[in-house]
Amino acid sequence: MFESAEIGHYVSKAQYKEQVPGLREALLEAHATLVTEKKFPVVVLISGEDGAGKGETIGVLYEWMDPRYLSTLAFEEPSDEERQRPSMWRFWRALPPKGRIGIFAGSWYSDPIRLRISGKLSAMELDARAEQINRFEAMLVNEGALVLKFWIHLSKDAQRARFESLQKDPLTAWRVTPWSWERLKTYDKLKTVSSHLLRMTNTAWAPWTIVEGVDDRYRSLTVGQVIQAALASKLASKDQTSTAVAPMVRVDTDGRNVLSELDMSLCLGEKEYKAQLGKLQGRLSVLARDPRFKSRSLVVAFEGADAAGKGGAIRRITAAMDARQFQVIPVAAPTEEERAQPHLWRFWRHLPRHNHMAIFDRTWYGRVLVERVEGFCTPADWKRAYSEINDFEHDLVEDGVIVLKFWLQISQEEQLRRFKEREEIAFKRFKITAEDWRNRDKWDAYQQAICEMVERTSTGEVPWTLVESNDKNYARIKILRTLCDRLEQALDASGGKTPTTRKRAKSTKKPKT
Amino acid sequence: MFESAEIGHYVSKAQYKEQVPGLREALLEAHATLVTEKKFPVVVLISGEDGAGKGETIGVLYEWMDPRYLSTLAFEEPSDEERQRPSMWRFWRALPPKGRIGIFAGSWYSDPIRLRISGKLSAMELDARAEQINRFEAMLVNEGALVLKFWIHLSKDAQRARFESLQKDPLTAWRVTPWSWERLKTYDKLKTVSSHLLRMTNTAWAPWTIVEGVDDRYRSLTVGQVIQAALASKLASKDQTSTAVAPMVRVDTDGRNVLSELDMSLCLGEKEYKAQLGKLQGRLSVLARDPRFKSRSLVVAFEGADAAGKGGAIRRITAAMDARQFQVIPVAAPTEEERAQPHLWRFWRHLPRHNHMAIFDRTWYGRVLVERVEGFCTPADWKRAYSEINDFEHDLVEDGVIVLKFWLQISQEEQLRRFKEREEIAFKRFKITAEDWRNRDKWDAYQQAICEMVERTSTGEVPWTLVESNDKNYARIKILRTLCDRLEQALDASGGKTPTTRKRAKSTKKPKT
């Protein structure tokens, strides 16, 4: 893997002087176009061995490009706000928006490498991480990002020589610490682990560039040229790079599907409803104060046709809880800042911290429902969204978040009845819009989209709960009971501990890559 | 102060049943209009003694209004991300955007009250805090917010009775802790401190509503009615509430001002420049790694006419530093999310954490420069901005942030020369826009605005450094030297400690109000 980066690459002063002005001009030009057009974000990973010149390379990029539109993202110890959320949250919040370049000094590769070296991750677990990384980067690329990954490499001898030369110069001696020499001892392990991980994550959509680190001029010129070429090529190209989407065939020849099989006549009398409501709200209120919930968090997703009763169901949940423990997130059109990010970004930003709950009124499934049916995104976009959503929910569950999702199903007749009723009752009037009426015209298309959504995203970890909602009483009780059951089950299973298979770094040392 | 809230206010079941439906309808109507029109944010403070029914009151608001557009903001122990920033940062980041209601359970009143009770704040320091709060709330109101402050009051006897009744019911017993009884002991102190602070902060623009907490129905109905009336009235009104702005007379009869007095011929030869640049960059690099900087942060603000050399000066600073330690924030038109917040919000969100530096390329002074001259905001808006900006910088300095601001002055002739030069050199071309040419037409208006800005915002804590920038070498060296001097001075003065006069809560107990 690293062979061609150990042959002593070297650029002479004369060559460097000749090439830099042109490269710099081209880089500035491309950077300016990127900033002006705001068409895509650029994610640059600068990884590699210690002393290989990662910091210097970043410094050169700041010198050659416009520092005002560069951000360097460093990830040392996670803050407590980060520790209380899924491990990918810190990277999501740092993603550059369209038109900007984010330089990641440390990245989603740092933890897997460190944990594998220290033996806290098995070889198989490392491969599973590689697979997750590939899927994450595929999502970034499909969302339009240019992902450039650099590994600045030093041979063991070169690393030793580098530390020695840094130490000699009083201006750079501070950079060599006892911990640097420690690195030399684990050099071979790092080489084994990183070369394996690099091979596993060297994908068509986000390939690695391995750069020999010994010669400053060679290293700077190489990184600069690769960035310039990739940037110019993507700016010039009209097609968006994208990975293949797995097709799925839905067989529905007898006209039966998961929705048609629901018993829409299910209902609950007022007396029984009130009795159960009180009981379940009491149970939820106790569960929310369970000490085992202190290290967990809860995400509840509501989807359903207009007037299906999402708002009413949410109100019955929030009524049982302390308002300081939950947030309701009504999902409408994305804001300007959200549109400049991958489509899941606006949900990541609202993930609750430990001991808290987020209730989403409409969700990340909008992509495969309204955006699909109304043509707000391309077929390629919504088709790949199924697996992106599965990955998203898997990320949450793996880090101990309890995730529930409800589909509230009502019949077309019941929806019509509710629309008319709303128009008559003054203080409910505000809920009904012209758009609600329009959506009714596409009823069948929506039912198709819902069936496909359920089939492709109802996973063992996060199954869909389909709620027969023609009767509000029945629906609310079913939702509350499911919520209590699942919450209790998750807390019991964990014994208060996060049931995560994803190991997180606890070390106080700074990231290795 | 609390007398009228100790007389045993009481609403009968019949009265309550009669009044709630109408109130609820009016509240929902007003809330829906607020959400649709997105004209202003609503900040609701629910404070008061423990056991007075703050949580229950918030619960009732969730029941009566649309929970999807309510957020409850709780402030317990600051997170480490919050502790590394000025103390008001956590409130700024929690502010509701236009069209939303934010319910503050705990607020900027919590710390002053707690610290005064425990004796960590003197009476005079408490009054200084009250003054800061008044100015902060005036800013919110001037920015369009509706600020509603409730103090739910219980007499000492009522508080004891309340704890006893909560303890009797197994469903609420958990809410009474040993710490609750502790509260009874400090009741008198709290009453003294809170009644004083309430009096000091009972302003025309953000008055307090004191509500007796004993009777649930009385309390709910009162809070509901006050919110409904205020909301409806503000929705109906066309005038924005605003506080008076202090005028300032600028005497400029002899045509001399701070800008005209600058010696624009100052310059520095290439050789001397290179020698000093290297020395100063080395000094800055050492200062940035100073252990005393680990508990401080640095904000550097750059303003200047187009082509004055801000970008070049910034580049000379960043070249001396590790890219992981700074962010450059180019300030352009605010985003949609930023436009839904007070004008300073978009600067608060970029404040650096400890050991980090933020360089603003254009700043919060845009309000009194480009927005004033181009008419992007009303005269009332930019006139009050001077003191809002002074308050903002004072908040930063008081919490240990080192703040520098540079005005880069160039002559009209030099600007023209640079514009023409830029048009000729290919890789600088992207920097010049039609807007740059237009701005030249308003040169005199800008010079007036700059003089007024300097006079009104050059404070002892954060003075303006005016930089004679016709010669780039001279300007860059002056900036770097000023930066090094001020940074060194601040670190020496503190001996590594934050020189703050603002005391911050370290207690692990939850906020009192």
Q: What is the mean pLDDT of residues A201-221?
A: 93
The sheet with strand B326-330 has its strands ordered as: B326-330, B357-361, B297-304, B401-409, B464-468
Residue type, A173: A
Residues of A in contact with B67 (CB under 8 A): 311, 314-315, 318, 328
pLDDT at A173: 79
| Reported ipTM | 0.83
Cβ atoms of B327 and B299 closer than 8 Å: no
Does A170 reach chain B within 8 Å, measured CB to CB? no
pLDDT at A494: 73
* Contacts of A334 by beta carbon, 8 Å cutoff, 6+ apart: A343, A346
Tokens of B306: 């187009």
Least confident among A197-206, A341-350, B177-186:
B177-186
Shortest alpha-carbon distance between residue A123 and chain B (Å): 32
Contact A67 B174 (CB under 8 A): no
Interface residue of A290, A324, A336, A433 to substitute, partner B, most B CBs within 10 Å: A324
pLDDT at A511: 40
Residue keyed to tokens 């352009």:
B332
pTM of the prediction?
A: 0.87
Shortest alpha-carbon distance between residue A210 and chain B (Å): 22
* Alpha helix (H) residue ranges in B299-407: 310-318, 336-339, 345-348, 370-373, 379-398
pLDDT digits (tens, 9 = 90+) for B95-150: 999 999 999 998 999 999 999 999 999 999 999 999 999 999 999 999 999 999 99
Contact A105 B70 (CB under 8 A): no
* Contacts of B167 by beta carbon, 8 Å cutoff, 6+ apart: B173, B176
Shortest alpha-carbon distance between residue B39 and chain A (Å): 16
In this complex, the residue of A62, A289, A324 whose CB is nearest that of residue B105 is A324
Phi, psi of B320, rounded to the nearest 5 degrees: -90, -5
Q: Quote the percentage of chain B above a pLDDT of 70.
A: 91
Residues of A in contact with B68 (CB under 8 A): 311, 314, 328-330, 361
Q: Which of residues 267-286 of A touch B (CB under 8 A)?
A: 282, 285
Measured over the CA atoms of residue B109, residue B114, residue B116 and residue B120, the dihedral's sign is negative
Is residue A18 over pLDDT 60?
Answer: yes
Residues of B in contact with A282 (CB under 8 A): 171
Contact B72 A426 (CB under 8 A): no
Query: A289: nearest CA in chain B?
Result: B174
DSSP state letter for B510 = P
A225-233 contacts at long range (C-beta below 8 A, 24 or more positions apart): A225/A23, A226/A148, A226/A150, A227/A27, A227/A44, A227/A61, A227/A148, A228/A23, A228/A26, A228/A27, A228/A30, A230/A146, A230/A148, A231/A27, A231/A30, A231/A31, A231/A34, A231/A42, A231/A146, A232/A26, A232/A30
> How many A-B residue pairs are in contact by the CB < 8 A criterion?
115
Q: CA B352, CA A1: separation in Å to the nearest integer?
A: 39
Does B314 reach chain A within 8 Å, measured CB to CB? yes
Shortest alpha-carbon distance between residue B385 and chain A (Å): 26
pLDDT at B510: 44
Is residue B513 over pLDDT 90?
Answer: no
In this complex, the residue of A32, A58, A330 whose CB is nearest that of residue B430 is A32
Q: What is the mean pLDDT of residues A262-278?
A: 95
Shortest alpha-carbon distance between residue A253 and chain B (Å): 40
Query: B60: nearest CA in chain A?
Result: A319
In this complex, the residue of A25, A318, A336 whose CB is nearest that of residue B336 is A336
Cβ atoms of A241 and A40 closer than 8 Å: no
